[in-house]
Amino acid sequence: MSEMTPEYRRTLTQMMESQAYRELAAAQMFGYGLQFIPELKWLKFLTWHIREEMEHYEAVAKMYREFTGESVEGVVNARLKEKPVPFAQSWFELAMAQFLYDRGGFWQLKEYENCSYEPYRGVIQKIIREEAGHQGLGQEIVIDLCKSGKFEEVKQPLFEKWLRLGLLSFGRPNSEGNRYAIAQGLKKRDSGAVMQDFVNDIKPAVRDGGLQFPKPETLGMELPRDLDWALRKAES
């Protein structure tokens, strides 16, 4: 650790703070959404999921304290106050959030699974193993609810809302910070490449739910110009 450059240490600290923010934000968002869950089986799943998110937050917070000698809680709480993740206001929206926000976080995590800082790599690999077990559940619920015909007026706007939040998980593409993190082995690829994998991953569900990707400029965020949004029938 004494051999780290100030920039490496600063970048790693920011990575830990961002990860802690995402874990706690997810736990709070899913916790608020418990009031909308209509069935016991999904109530059991979401309460388990919340507990898992809190365990992940605790693991990152412990690593942060060992690395910096300080608590991450003040940083995370200030960021949540400044940039809160919206709370779902219905069962359908909660399912859409679980599908897209959780899926975006999973793809973002995979970029750090070979991180050059071993303690961070260990924590991320543990989280990935645990997250991988429920990546398809939100998608299944969303597709079923979309096919019911009861959510035609809201399904597209809510899809676009949570698609944007999922994409924001990856950070700005082609940034100096991206290039430094890749060069130092902290992450694998530029954010733009991960965005494409995420978009490709959700395309079958987008088709099956009768949804459409919005025009990129309507999302109000920085995206790669060559991002492929096409819903080709062969992708399934």
CATH of residue 134: 1.20.1260.10
pLDDT, tens digit, 9 for 90 and up, residues 197-216 = 999 999 999 999 999 999 99
Q: List b or e across 185-220, with b for residues whose CB sees 16 or more CB atoms inside 10 angstroms.
A: ebbeebbbebbbebbebbbebbbbbebebeeeeebe
In which band, very low, low, confident or very high, does the pLDDT at 131 lie, cut at 50, 70 and 90? confident
Residue 21 counted as domain residue:
yes
Rounded-to-integer distance, Cα 209 and Cα 217, Å? 23
> Structure pTM?
0.91
Nearest to 49 by CA among 139, 169, 131: 131
pLDDT, tens digit, 9 for 90 and up, residues 139-158 = 999 999 999 999 999 999 99
Single-letter code of the amino acid located at 219: L
pLDDT, tens digit, 9 for 90 and up, residues 45-86 = 999 999 999 999 999 999 999 999 999 999 999 999 999 999
Helix (H) or strand (E) holding 12: helix 6-33
Asked if the model's pLDDT at residue 101 lies above 60, the reply is: yes
pLDDT, tens digit, 9 for 90 and up, residues 5-54 = 999 999 999 999 999 999 999 999 999 999 999 999 999 999 999 999 99
Instruction: Give pLDDT, residue 233.
Output: 62
Residue 189 counted as domain residue:
yes
Average pLDDT over residues 120-148: 89
Q: What percent of the chain has pLDDT over 90?
A: 87
Instruction: Give pLDDT, residue 25.
Output: 95
| Cα dihedral 174, 178, 184, 186 sign | negative
Nearest to 173 by CA among 190, 196, 148: 190
Find the DSSP H helices in 111-174.
Answer: 118-131, 137-147, 155-168
Residue 235 counted as domain residue:
no
Residue 230 counted as domain residue:
no
Rounded-to-integer distance, Cα 50 and Cα 212, Å? 30
Instruction: Give pLDDT, residue 14.
Output: 95
Q: Three-state DSSP class for 136?
A: coil
Range of the domain at 123: 6-219
Residue 49 counted as domain residue:
yes
Residues with Cβ within 8 Å of residue 208, at least 6 apart in sequence: 143, 146, 147
Residue 227 counted as domain residue:
no
Domain count, the chain: 1
Residue 34 counted as domain residue:
yes
For residue 84, give both structure tokens. Answer: 């809160």
Q: List b or e across 97-133, with b for residues whose CB sees 16 or more CB atoms inside 10 angstroms.
A: bbbbbbbbbbbbbbbbeebebeebbebbbebeeebee
